[in-house]
Each structure stands twice: as structure tokens, then as C-alpha cells.
Amino acid sequence: MPLENHPGNDFVDRKFLLIEDFDVMRGVLRALLKRCGARHVDTAANAREALQHMQHSKYDVVLCDFNLGGGKNGQQVLEEARHDRLIGHATIWIMITAEKTSDMVMSIAEHAPDDYLLKPIIEALLTTRLSKLIVRKKAMADITAAMAAKKYLQALDLCAQRLAQDKGNPMEVLRIQADLYQRTGKNEQARAIYDSILARRSIPWAKLGMAKLSIHCLDHANARVLLEDLIAENPNYLEAYDWLARVHQHLGGQEAEESVLLRATALSPNSAPRQNALGAAALRCNHFDIAEQAMRRAIKLDEQSALKSVSPFLGLARVYSASNRPQEAMKILGEVAQKFSGEDVKIQAKAEEVRVLHRTGNKEAAAAIAQEMTARIQSDGQNLSPNATIELADTLMQMGNHTEAAQLLQFVVRNNDEDEDLGLRAQAVFDRADKTADGHALLGQSRQQTREAMNQGVLLLRAGKLDEALERMRAACALMPRNPRVLLNLAYLYIVMLEKNGWRRDVEDEARKAITLANSIAPGKQRAGELLARLETVANTPRAAAKGTPPG
């Protein structure tokens, strides 16, 4: 019996988009959807047509073939649709493929469509899968909407309500609830959920959650044990490999990190970020062939992606530079200039150029670029990672540019005053240049600067002198534009101002901006979650509502 004749059919009023490159198969699948009860079905033959449809219409269900001929594949269409917000949290996305190979299935699963189907597709299977997905999406709609709006406290309340109403299948809600607790800094509540679940049986996401909590508490040794156990029990759980690689990197196990990522990319070779991570790990081990292959693979996978990253290009340039192939390195850096824009990208490319010029003996050109970069990094807080900044400083120190190198190392320490490992790496640059005493003095001075700049603002805040505190904390941010602790102190001050003086959109925006930047620099900090939850509470007060609807 066609589904449209079933009581309570949910397909009739839903809008479908079918993306399939073969005309005949497109017709077959469209007819199949019609037999299932669908009345509104648009079709697209390629990624361009699909994205145009989504720009002009909102779809309830998207069925997308993985292989779409030339151009973007289905995975990249899903990425772009999410990135450009062409689909919402309520949209059902089903990926379709005729390939049954493990790497294809793993690749599809990694990008988390709502489901995937293998061709040939029969009516009964499609009907059953779609019906279940519609029921699941409806049940979780209010929670996912609150999360999309970053209303995490509201989402937690909705999770509690859902758990009280539906005791039959609570695992998905518990997973979301635990994640929300971690986002809002309530790590012990998250731990209690994981403990309760793992006491009954070994659930992969719960064990991964415990490992993340261990990493947050800087207990990397325990995290390694948990992640190794998790992979032994679930060898296809790719996210666990990624976290284990990060743990090995933190513990200094470079070859162990590379080995984990080699295993992960063998299981699922079509993840550009993981190939890039493998390339970086192999480069740290001086395994240039593996590094080059992985970086090239990452570039190829990213070719049609809306989320194309500059990282594998810069990584490949570094591989060429480290393996004495400067002309090839400069060629890649030329491609970066053509394919990417933005100040952050420019300064990252310039850092690589300094290394290449130094290796080729063009020290004068290298010094000129380095001097300009040093000023820009410190004045604008340009997005060069702490590790990359230390490596640049090391190059400058070797070139004899001791003042610029010292300035960069002091900048790193000021902005990462709680990271002992980075502090030791910065000191090691001075040690290698036979400037150990200078390093201890300058880096110690930087730490003292950090403490004084933060303490002045905090003391004024405690005294209730909010305007003076704000002036001091903004000055501290100017000195340390990428210090998460300084940014979160500033966000805290803005929240106190909102609580005392009432809600203002501009003040909330500044608080949210500071928290977001801090979280992008140092993800997972408990205080960031706590402040975000507190900001949400302030924004939802009657006083805020009276002044206008605050942003979510």
C-alpha cells in the first residue's frame, strides 16, 4: 500500500530535494518517492543545481548521491549546505551510494548525514528509514533548535524534560545532555552521566567523553589508556584515533602519533583534516615521503570543498623546505597567494617564506620579512599558532635576529602564561642560541607583565569600579590579544556590567565575542562554558526582554 494511504503519513506535505547525476536513476528515485507518498519533489543533476535549489527553497528531506560526476561530491555538497546554513537542524539528509567498500561507507558516516542507503533502494526500506528519521527529528527538534541558537541552558532543561517523558530510549538525549554539561563548564555532571552509562556497559561515546574530561583535567596518561581501550573495542571509531593522536603529541610521542594517524587514514582515507594531521605528524618525525603524500592527499580532497584549508599547502611548503627543495616550496607558497585571501593566511605564508629564504642563504630578504611580521604579530594578534611562532622565532635566532626572536617568544609566553610546555619550548630557543640567562630574564618579565595586567583589572572590578576595570582589561587585551584568560576576564566584566546595569545588545555582543575567541584559541575551557551559560541567563531576563529580543 502506498504510504500516502497510511493514516498519519508524514511525507505528503514535506518538501524533498533529490540530487542524482544520472537521468535514468533520477527518474527512478523520483518515482519511488512519489510512491512513498511524497508530493513535492525537486531534482538536481549536480552540486551546482542542488546548491541553487537550496538557496531558494527550504527542504525537509534531501536525498543525495555520493558520486555526482565531475565537481563536488555529495559529501562536499552537505558540507557547503551546512556551512552556508542552507539546511537547518530539522532537515533530514540521506546519502545514497552504489559503492559498498569500507572506506566509502566510513567516509560517508564520518560526515554524519542522518542516514545512508546503498543502491538499489526498495520502497519498503526507504519508507521505513524515512519514517523513523521523521519521528526522531520531531522528538529532538526543540533541543537541537536551542543548541543551534547556543541557548545551552534551555537545551539542558529540554533534555531533562525529554528524559522524564521518554524513558524507553534515552541514550541520544543523555549523549547530548553530557555534551551540553561540558560546554557549559559542568564537567562533574557530565562525568556522572558517563560513569552511570559505563557502569552498565561500554558505550563508545561515553568512554570518549571520559577521555575528553581527562584531557581537560590534564590527565593525558589516563586519556591515553581510555582511548586505547576504546579503539581496541571499536576499531572503526575514527574520532577516538584523532583524540589519541593529540594525546600522543602532547606527551611527546611523535612516532606514536604518526602511527595512530596512519591506522586511521588506512581505515578512512577521505578526510582532508586527518590527512593534514598525518602530514604534520610525519614531518615532525622527518618522514618526508609520508608527509608529502598526506599533504598532497589533503589538498586533493579539499579541491572542491567550501571549507578548503590553507594548512596542507603550508605543510607541503614546509616539507619541501625541510627536505632541501626550496624552489618547490616557493611554488606552493605562490599557489597560496593565488588561492587564498585574508591577513591571517598572508602572515602564515610569510612565516614559511622566511624559513625558505633562510635555508637558501637569502638572509637579507628573510630578515626584512621577519621584522615586518614580528611587528604585525604583536600589534594585531595575527593568527599564527604558538608553535608556528616559536618555530619562526627559532629561525630568527639562527639568523642572528635576536631582538625580533625574543619579542616573538615573549609574545607567546604573555598569551599562553598557563602553558608550561610552551614556556619550556620558548626557553629552549634561547638555550640553543647560548642565551639561557637572557631567556629566563625576558620570559620571567613577560609572565610578570601578564600577572600585573590582569590583577589591576580584577582588583578594580572587586572594588566596584567597573569603568576603570574595563579600561584596564581592554589594555590587557591589547598587550595579550590571544590570551584566553585575559579574554575570559574581559567577558566576565561585561557580564557583570549586564547584570548590574541591565541588558544591552552591544555589551552582550562584546562578551560573546571575547568568549568565542577564547574558545577558538583554547577549546574546552570550563570557565568559557560557565560564562556562556551565565551570559545566556542574563540575556533571558525580563529586563533584557523589555529592551528587545537579545541575539541567541
- Closest of 518, 520, 467 to residue 493, by C-alpha: 467
pLDDT at 548: 39
Nearest-angstrom CA–CA distance, 48 and 432: 54
Residue by residue, pLDDT tens for the chain (552 residues) are 444 444 335 788 899 999 999 999 999 999 999 988 888 999 999 999 999 999 999 999 999 998 888 788 888 899 888 878 888 888 999 999 887 766 666 666 666 788 888 888 888 888 888 888 888 888 888 998 888 877 888 899 999 999 988 766 688 899 999 999 988 878 899 999 999 999 999 999 999 999 999 998 889 999 999 999 999 999 988 899 999 999 998 898 999 999 999 999 998 888 899 999 999 999 999 999 999 999 999 999 888 887 788 999 999 999 999 999 999 999 999 999 899 988 778 888 888 898 888 888 888 888 888 888 877 777 655 567 888 888 888 888 988 889 989 999 999 999 998 888 889 889 999 999 999 999 999 999 999 989 898 899 889 999 999 999 999 999 999 889 889 999 999 999 999 999 999 889 999 999 999 999 998 888 767 788 889 888 988 887 755 444 433 333
pTM across the whole model: 0.79
- Examine the fold and report which residue of 233, 252, 271 is the final residue of a domain before the chain moves on: 252
Please give the DSSP secondary-structure letter assigned to residue 121. P
pLDDT at 76: 87
Residues 182 and 92 both lie in one domain: no
Please give the DSSP secondary-structure letter assigned to residue 185. T
Alpha helices in 323-419 (DSSP H): 326-339, 343-359, 363-380, 386-399, 402-415
In a domain, 309, yes or no: no
Residues 491 and 474 both lie in one domain: no
User: Dmax over Cα atoms in the chain, in whole Å?
Assistant: 84
In a domain, 322, yes or no: no
Strand-pair partners of 42: 17
In a domain, 396, yes or no: yes
Query: Residue 242 is part of a domain; what is its CATH number?
Result: 1.25.40.10
Residues 493 and 466 both lie in one domain: no
Nearest-angstrom CA–CA distance, 237 and 271: 14
Half-sphere exposure of 43 (CA within 13 A, CB side): 17
Q: Are 121 and 29 in contact (CB under 8 A)?
A: yes
Question: What is the domain extent for residue 354?
Answer: 341-482
Residues 49 and 168 both lie in one domain: no
Residue 190 has φ and ψ, to the nearest 5°, of -65, -45
Q: What is the DSSP string of 460-505?
A: HHHTT-HHHHHHHHHHHHHH-TT-HHHHHHHHHHHHHHHHHH---H
Alpha helices in 9-73 (DSSP H): 23-35, 47-56
pLDDT at 536: 84
Which one-letter amino acid corresponds to residue 531?
Answer: L
Residues 353 and 460 both lie in one domain: yes
In a domain, 427, yes or no: yes
pLDDT at 5: 44
Residues 373 and 476 both lie in one domain: yes
- Examine the fold and report which residue of 198, 218, 252 is the final residue of a domain before the chain moves on: 252
Number of other residues whose CB lies within 10 A of the CB of residue 419: 16
Total number of domains constituting the chain: 4
In a domain, 166, yes or no: yes
> Long-range contacts for 401-404 (Cβ within 8 Å, ≥24 apart)?
401/367, 401/370, 401/371, 402/433, 402/435, 404/370, 404/371, 404/374
Residues 494 and 465 both lie in one domain: no
pLDDT at 220: 93
- Examine the fold and report which residue of 219, 252, 285 is the final residue of a domain before the chain moves on: 252
Cβ-proximal residues to 530 (8 Å cutoff; 6+ apart), any chain: 184, 185, 186
Residues 384 and 470 both lie in one domain: yes
Half-sphere exposure of 414 (CA within 13 A, CB side): 24
Q: How many residues does the chain have?
A: 552
**Rounded to an integer, what is the distance from CA 314 to the centroid of its chain?**
19
In a domain, 20, yes or no: yes
Residues 431 and 492 both lie in one domain: no
pLDDT at 436: 94
Residues 440 and 355 both lie in one domain: yes
Which one-letter amino acid corresponds to residue 79?
Answer: E
Peptide bond into 120 cis (omega under 30): yes
Residues 457 and 418 both lie in one domain: yes
pLDDT at 305: 80
H or E element at residue 285: none
In a domain, 293, yes or no: no
In a domain, 89, yes or no: yes
Nearest-angstrom CA–CA distance, 544 and 540: 6
Cα–Cα distances (Å) from 541 to 136, 148, 153, in that order, read: 32, 20, 13
Residues 419 and 434 both lie in one domain: yes
